[in-house]
Amino acid sequence: MLPAMPPRQPVLDPAAAYPRINALRTALDSGDWPECRSVLDAAEPVERTELTMIAFGETGLETFLRGVLTGDPGDGAAGALLGQHLIGAAWRIRTAARSEQVSRERLAAFTEGLEVAERLLVDAAARSPHDPAIWTARLITARGLRLGRSEARRRYDRLAAIDPHHLPGQWQFLQQLCPKSGGVWALAHTFAGETAAAAPPGSFDPVLVAEAHLEHWLEEHGRSAAAGRRYLSAGPVRDELNEAADRSVRHPAFRRTHGWVRVTSTFAMAFALLDDRPAAAALFTALGDLGSDRPWDYLGDPGPTIVKYRKRAGGGGT
């Protein structure tokens, strides 16, 4: 007889849910730019931006992408990919620690790296002003370089004028509005609420409400599980989370397009933390074997953490 198997960990690699990621990775690795473009050009705007963000975690792409840009400086896709790649390289210098825990030398190298990325993106935005992937990347640099809230707002407005429901950019702007980036909670919750309210039924945008509450929970109550549960299960917060889920993951019009795993996973985490087990279980079931790093990494190693909460909720997966 086989020993009892530990519960299977969810597959966290986004490529499992979105096959285009592997297609793009392969094309990038083999230096096949026409193939990269054909993958990106076939994608919807949000999917395309998410795809460009894989360059954040890849290494050794700079020479290839700079070569592409030398050939065609106006190639927005190459600009966005290289921008993300340079941002990723800078962020790895900085590490994910909070800014007060990072050494001065590291912060200086991080800033320098981000400036290289930003200069490239200034030019990319000048040449392709209607590319949402470039504006999304510029929201990251605006935050990392502390260019100010009004500048981030300007960049977000430019993005929203192109695509008012661009979740990757909305998430970046939400981070800007959180106190850790110099914002205030009221701004973050208002932005999340307004964006959610303006979104069509079944869209991803309402997940911002959950993101904002999870950020708030982590920052103010993350150290004590009981206090965290009290914050998230307080009447108004619970109502907002339920309303947001009803307009998004729990709406019949919700589609499993690029990004659905993270949206579902985020709602699952919020309901799991406020101890609404049936709600969390339903979402875990919807996810099946899939999962996402963010925002579970706020709780530690995402894989085992998801397994723990999924088990507690009593649903989904095996």
Partner 1 sequence: MRRLEVDGLPAVLAPVSGPTHAGLVFRVGTADEPLARRGITRLVERLVTNGRGGLVGPEHTYFHVQGSAAAITEYLAGVCEALRDPPTQRLAAARERAGRAERDPLPMWRHGARGFGAASYPEWALPGLTEDDLREWITRYFTRENAALWVAGDEVPEGLALDLPSGERRPAPAAATTLPVTPAFFPGETPGVVAWDTVVRRGPHAAVFANVLERRMLDELGGTGRARTEYVIRCDGTARIAAVAEVPPDQQEAALGGLVDVLAAVRAGRIDPDEVAAVVKLTCTGLRESESRGARLPGQAFSLLAGREVQSLEEALAEVRAVTVADVAVVASEAYDSGLLMTPPGGTAGWAGYAAAPAMSETVLAGRTHRGRGNRTIRLISGDEGVSVTGPDVVASVGWESCVAMLAWPDGARHLIGEDAVVARIEPSLFRGADRVVREADARVPQRLRIEMPPRDRDRIPRPEPAPRTGAGRLYATLTVSGLFVLFFVAGAVWALIRLLTGLGDTREDALALAGSLAFGAFCARYCWIAARDLGSLRKGPHHG
Of the two residues 116 and 269, which places its CB atom closer to partner 1 in the complex?
116
Cα–Cα dist 75/149, whole Å = 28
Q: Which two tokens stand for residue 58?
A: 């890849």
Of the two residues 16 and 147, which places its CB atom closer to partner 1 in the complex?
147
- Least separation in angstroms between CB 129 and partner 1: 7
- Least separation in angstroms between CB 119 and partner 1: 5
CA atoms within 13 A of residue 221's CA, in its CB half-sphere: 16
- Least separation in angstroms between CB 248 and partner 1: 30
Residues at the interface with partner 1 (CB under 8 A): 73, 114-115, 118-119, 122-123, 125-127, 129, 141-142, 145, 147-151, 153-155
- Least separation in angstroms between CB 66 and partner 1: 16
Q: Which two tokens stand for residue 80?
A: 């966005």
Residues 6+ apart with CB under 8 A from 259: 46, 47, 50, 167, 168, 204
Of the two residues 58 and 151, which places its CB atom closer to partner 1 in the complex?
151
Write the single-letter amino acid at 218: L
Of the two residues 125 and 207, which places its CB atom closer to partner 1 in the complex?
125
- Give start and end residues of each alpha helix (H) in the chain: 20-29, 33-41, 45-52, 62-71, 76-94, 104-127, 132-144, 149-162, 167-177, 185-198, 207-216, 225-233, 235-247, 260-273, 277-287, 302-313
Q: Which two tokens stand for residue 16?
A: 């499992």
Of the two residues 36 and 114, which places its CB atom closer to partner 1 in the complex?
114
Strand partners, 11: 290
- Least separation in angstroms between CB 64 and partner 1: 22
Of the two residues 155 and 247, which places its CB atom closer to partner 1 in the complex?
155
* Class of residue 278 by CB neighbours under 10 A (exposed 0-12, middle 13-18, buried 19+): exposed
- Least separation in angstroms between CB 107 and partner 1: 14
Report whether 288 contacts 316 (CB < 8 A): yes
How far CA 166 is from CA of 48, 156, 298, in Å, comes to 11, 10, 23
- Least separation in angstroms between CB 100 and partner 1: 12
Of the two residues 24 and 134, which places its CB atom closer to partner 1 in the complex?
134
How far CA 291 is from CA of 29, 89, 283, 296, in Å, comes to 25, 25, 11, 9
Of the two residues 149 and 166, which places its CB atom closer to partner 1 in the complex?
149
Write the single-letter amino acid at 181: S
- Least separation in angstroms between CB 172 and partner 1: 15
